[in-house]
Amino acid sequence: MPGTEPTAEERLKALGIVLPELPKPLGAYVPFVRTGNLLYLSGMLPLREGRLIQTGRVGETVTLEEAVVCARTAAINALAVVKAALGDLNKMKQCVKVSGFVASARDFYDQPKVINGASELMAEVFGKAGLHARAAVGVPVLPLNAPVEIEFIFEVAS
């Protein structure tokens, strides 16, 4: 119909993104917890087919550009979790909060630019509903020597 917004699934298809299988937990936790209308995701790593696409610290062995791709990949994994949790991405009403952690060299200060890789994907897929509050934090190391880990909170339809 003219004037209707494309669905999240249609936007993903237009972006050429195929959601992966639900990432398997790497420890004693679950990929998500839903309480009321909120969906909390565990930290997402930049995994593709079960393997990190990059390892190391940003500003040392990982470039800013590579780290942005890592953040986008972590966000794609988050969308796979949302779809598994809800059965349909269109049941997501609002991306509420994104908390990004960047394994950083001592003199790397562009954590917000790295996490933009995830934030921009949320806006591309969900439009205004993808806009969110955010934190971007530099840390010395992350699990498995990942350069990026990102947590998400979503408001979902009841």
pLDDT tens digits for range 46-97: 999 999 999 999 999 999 999 999 999 999 999 999 999 999 999 999 999 9
Mean per-residue pLDDT, 94-123: 98
Contacts of 49 (CB under 8 A, 6+ apart): 20
Tracing tokens 């200060």 back to the chain, one arrives at: 109
Query: Are 99 and 142 within 8 A, CB to CB?
Result: no
What is the DSSP secondary-structure string of 106-157? TT---HHHHHHHHHHHHHHHHGGGG--EEEEEEES--GGG-SEEEEEEEEE-
Domains of the chain plus CATH, in order, are 8-18+35-156 (3.30.1330.40)
Q: Per-residue pLDDT for 2 more than 60?
A: no
pTM recorded for the entire structure: 0.95
Q: Per-residue pLDDT for 139 more than 90?
A: yes
Q: What is the pLDDT of residues 18-36, one digit of tens each?
A: 999 887 788 899 999 999 9
Q: How far apart are CA 136 and CA 101, in angstroms?
A: 6
Q: Per-residue pLDDT for 1 more than 80?
A: no
Report helix, strand or coil for 54: coil
34-49 burial, b for 16+ CB within 10 Å, e for fewer?
eeeeebbbbbbbbbee
Q: How far apart are CA 74 and CA 52, in angstroms?
A: 10
